[in-house]
Amino acid sequence: QTELELYQVDASTVRLSIHHRLDDVSDTLDYEFSYCPATPLAPICLNTEAAVAATNRFNATVVARRPVEQLLPAGSPLWQAAIADGDFVVTEEHLRQYCQITGNRLRYYAKIIDGAVHAPMDYLAISAVAAGVFGIMASPAVSSGKQLKFVQISSEIKLDDGADLPRVGDRLRCTLSLAGVFNGPSGVVLDVAGTVCNADQPLGMLRYQILYQGHRLPHSGCFQRENRQRFAVRLGSEMDAVALEAKDWFVGREGADVPKLAAGMDLEFCLDSTYFYETDAVYSSVATTGTVCQRLWNGRLVPVGSVDYASGRAVRNPVLSYLQRQQESATANNVVPLGNGDRRIGPAPGSSALAIAAPLSNVEYARVSGDGNPIHTNP
């Protein structure tokens, strides 16, 4: 519920008060406008500095539901900042309301298994709201009080392998941190990463990118962090194995029980990278560390080495460039044509235009995703 109140303070000043209440949270935002005849082109003036401080405080209370002092502090390094975590208990009534609001009026995605009501995977996003993901919009470290300039440009939810979907009665806790703050073509991009736990057991991860339009930050405060990046690479030849061993950032493990790199070996890289910016296109420093394992036929991972790379001024990350080249080469050399009878969407045979082949059925995808829409099952 929102109420507006406008009244006169004195002969040249009026005050606009915005009273907002949502559930048990309420606050008031005050703006004072003064008549200044000395500036005829802009006779109505607003104290901008006071308005920014009041707006940030208001949004911290209403949106993040915590005092502005608990948000990202101004003047502190953003890469060291952590966003306060939060938790909540899943209730059947809240789950019902969520499914209704998102359009799942029959609770198609809220499954009842062994008498317990399980929430859909995208319900994990609620835990990020409880942790104050949008509180960064009110932080004086990144915001100048123009909340309408913030636009959420992407969101990602991943469920950990073997983790069960949350169910009624579970207590979910989400811990958020800034994974990146950098200047994009249209403004500052805020990259927020979070982990969700259920009774201290890891459940999944969340990732949000929020654009602050028309705003820029000094490059000294910009950074980007990528954690748990996974790359699968097959060593196609002995030359590939020798080339990897020769990389100065690759550290092979020693020991009689450690497999030697060889042709045909499937490797899995799990990497953490941190970038600090000098300009929009140049990094002042790059660091990448992680593990390298051989993936056996049964899925078991055997450590064979590690990655340790650090550099000063750079325009790219050579570790990721190598892995991306290897993956692109493997994809180009392992194109598997679709079976006979598949539908083909595109121009007539012989045309140089791009053609797209689609499988006859998406039943397998539907079984994995739970998407039972017949339009999605049969293209």
Taking only the tens of pLDDT, the chain with its 379 residues reads: 678 888 888 888 888 888 877 666 677 888 888 888 877 777 888 777 777 777 777 766 666 666 555 555 555 566 666 565 677 788 888 877 777 766 665 444 555 666 677 787 777 777 666 656 666 666 666 666 666 677 888 888 888 877 888 888 888 888 888 888 899 888 888 888 888 888 888 888 888 888 888 888 888 888 999 888 899 999 988 999 999 999 999 999 988 888 899 999 999 999 999 999 999 889 999 999 999 999 988 888 999 999 999 999 999 999 999 999 888 876 655 544 544 444 444 554 555 555 555 666 666 655 555 555 555 555 5
Cα 379 to Cα 157, 337, 345, 357, 375, distances in angstroms: 26, 18, 11, 11, 6
pLDDT confidence of residue 110: 56
Instruction: Identify the sign of the CA torsion 144, 139, 132, 128.
Output: positive
Using an 8 Å Cβ cutoff, are 58 and 135 in contact? no
pLDDT confidence of residue 37: 80
Please state, in angstroms and rounded to a whole number, the distance separating the CA atoms of residues 94 and 292: 43
Using an 8 Å Cβ cutoff, are 196 and 206 in contact? yes
Cα 15 to Cα 8, 45, 194, 286, 336, distances in angstroms: 6, 12, 40, 50, 69
pLDDT confidence of residue 274: 94
Please state, in angstroms and rounded to a whole number, the distance separating the CA atoms of residues 207 and 210: 10
Please state, in angstroms and rounded to a whole number, the distance separating the CA atoms of residues 318 and 316: 6
C-alpha triplet 230, 273, 243: angle, nearest 5°: 65
Report which of 156, 160, 166 is spatially closest to residue 119, judged by C-alpha positions. 166
pLDDT confidence of residue 302: 92
Q: Is the pTM value of this prediction over 0.85?
A: no
pLDDT confidence of residue 340: 46
pLDDT confidence of residue 342: 46
